[in-house]
Structure 1
Amino acid sequence: MLTVDPQGLTDAAGQVEATGSALAGLDVAGPFATVSDALVGSRTSQSCLWVSTRLGAAVQVYSEGLQALATAARASAGDFSGTDHGVASGFGPVGR
């Protein structure tokens, strides 16, 4: 048997969305720029650029994934809620 708490699912979606937004706002490349600027022309400088670019892209993709997960969770909560109300209405006064 599957039991779903639509409000709990909606609340969890809000937390996931907040986490995704927080990740999107992180400056993951900034600290690498400081090192890169201090060691211009070195392999370390080039490595910092390489790592910061890829890390920034990975964090962005992960953040977008969390946003999509939150959207899907909200949609599922709405679907479960709608189905539950529809079934309850089908039973008439007994289902309310």
Structure 2
Amino acid sequence: MTLTYRSPTASDILHVAENMRQEDILEVAASHGHTPLQALAFAVTASDRSFAAMHDGSPVCIFGFSQHAEGIASVWLLGTDALVAPTFCRTFLREA
């Protein structure tokens, strides 16, 4: 299993938003009242760095961080159901 990482594109954001895990959809709705697309667009824009984890040309998840002060940052990740498949999950956890 090979995952590659890159800066997320608009099409990556749209793909993850349209295929977001139900748990992530509920989380962004409860925490900020956002749709999946609003949540991803905001998170990527507000982050110091963000990444799309790619497999076979499709994003599995998008994640990133925002630094608040020296040594203090918030991290986030929103993903598709593919992310929690055992083969992806093990690879992503090992690499991340």
TM-score of the superposed pair, with normalisation by structure 1: 0.22
Larger Rg: 1
Looking at secondary structure, tell me which structure has more strand per residue: 2
Which has the higher relative contact order, 1 or 2, with Cα contacts under 8 A spaced 6 or more apart?
1
Looking at secondary structure, tell me which structure has more helix per residue: 1
TM-score of the superposed pair, with normalisation by structure 2: 0.22
